[in-house]
């Protein structure tokens, strides 16, 4: 699984959907591959935005850190998804940091290459519009959640979303397929690890989830969804 897998992943992205085999081949030649171990950084907040990445395998965590050192998780990025969208927009700097949370493989594409492809293939530029618009909508949804829902519902929504994006069916239920700590969930929902821990403990008591050290399994997705949609 080398070249062919790589080309597969590129044409499976929403960004390059519809690009001709020839162009894909050329793109593949100018792209670079990188293997990452857990914890390896891909780029840092404030770095020059020279290269964006397609995840071929594994998963990245995208975070932002505030002036006073608080961190929030913007998103997890999985196979066939993109990290470093600022490059597509032609921005100078990466506004966020991307880090591998599992052994991963990414394909890097430089600003110059993607800008030229978009200029030559408007359908790719239009795909880029859709990709970023989807992220924008995602963000609107999270903002709405933060504004109107209490902590328990926010955690429920977040876990359900992760289960959808990165869920693995097991005998016990749907397992989120990468290490996810209480602290991580807190940084996604705007609360503290203490509150997340208490909430998961309560759910565990009711048989909704099964969780442990950096591990979450959703046992009753339907009931958790009810809870996520309940008032409050």
Partner DNA sequence: GCGAATCTTTGCGGCGGATCAAAGCGCTGC
Partner DNA sequence: GCAGCGCTTTGATCCGCCGCAAAGATTCGC
Task: List interacting residues with DNA (CB under 7 A).
Answer: 150-152, 181-183, 190-195, 197-198, 200-201, 204, 211-214
Contact between 196 and 208 under an 8 Å Cβ cutoff? The reply is no
In the sheet with 32-36, reading across from the earlier edge strand, the strands are: 32-36, 104-110, 51-57, 82-83
Q: Are 77 and 138 in contact (CB under 8 A)?
A: no
Q: Are 163 and 222 in contact (CB under 8 A)?
A: no
Residue 45, Cβ density class (10 Å: 0-12 exposed, 13-18 middle, ≥19 buried): middle
CA-angle at 207, arms to 202 and 209, nearest 5°:
75
Tell me the CA end-to-end span of the chain in Å, nearest whole number.
49
Select from its own copies, DNA, none the partner in contact with residue 72, using the beta carbon and a kind-dependent cut-off of 5 to 8 Å: its own copies
For 82, the token pair is: 């993109």
| Near its own copies in 4-63, by CB under 8 A | none
* Residue among 23 and 181 whose Cβ is closer to DNA: 181
Select from 33, 48, 136, 150 the one that contacts its own copies (CB under 8 A): 136
Quick check: 6 and 28 in contact, CB under 8 A?
A: yes
Considering the complex, what minimum distance in angstroms separates the CB of residue 66 from its own copies?
6
* Options 77, 82, 107, 128; binder of its own copies; rule CB under 8 A: 128
Q: Which of 17, 121, 198, 214 binds its own copies (CB under 8 A)?
A: 121
CA distance 192 to 119: 45
Q: Are the CB atoms for 56 and 4 separated by under 8 Å? A: no
Binding marks (x or -) toward its own copies, 82..111, rule CB under 8 A?
A: ---xx-xxxx---xx---------------
223 binds, options DNA, its own copies, none, Cβ within 5 to 8 A by partner type = none
Select from its own copies, DNA, none the partner in contact with residue 195, using the beta carbon and a kind-dependent cut-off of 5 to 8 Å: DNA
Q: Which is nearer to DNA, 23 or 195 (CB)?
A: 195
- Provide the minimum distance between the beta carbon of 37 and DNA in the complex, in angstroms, as a whole number: 11
Catalog residues that contact its own copies under the rule CB under 8 A.
64, 66-68, 70, 72, 74, 85-86, 88-91, 95-96, 115, 118-123, 125-126, 128-130, 132-137, 139-140, 142-144, 146-148, 187, 189-190, 229, 231
């Amino acid at each position: 699984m080398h070249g062919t897998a790589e080309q597969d992943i590129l044409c499976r992205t929403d960004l390059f959907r519809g690009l001709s085999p020839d162009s894909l081949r050329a793109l593949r030649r100018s792209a670079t591959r990188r293997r990452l171990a857990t914890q390896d950084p891909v780029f840092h907040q404030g770095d020059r935005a020279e290269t964006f990445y397609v995840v071929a395998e594994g998963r990245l965590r995208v975070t932002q850190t505030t002036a006073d050192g608080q961190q929030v998780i913007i998103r997890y990025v999985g196979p066939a998804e993109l990290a470093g969208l600022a490059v597509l927009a032609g921005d100078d700097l990466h506004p966020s940091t991307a880090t591998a949370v599992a052994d991963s493989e990414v394909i890097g594409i430089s600003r110059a290459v993607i800008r030229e492809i978009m200029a030559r293939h408007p359908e790719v530029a239009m795909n880029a519009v859709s990709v970023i618009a989807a992220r924008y909508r995602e963000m609107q949804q999270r903002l709405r959640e933060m504004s109107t829902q209490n902590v328990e519902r926010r955690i429920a929504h977040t876990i359900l979303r992760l289960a959808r994006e990165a869920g693995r069916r097991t005998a016990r239920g749907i397992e989120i397929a990468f290490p996810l700590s209480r602290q991580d969930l807190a940084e996604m929902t705007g609360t503290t690890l203490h509150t997340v821990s208490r909430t998961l403990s309560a759910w565990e008591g009711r048989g909704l989830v099964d969780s442990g050290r950096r591990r979450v399994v959703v046992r009753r997705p339907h009931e958790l969804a009810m809870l996520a949609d309940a008032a409050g």
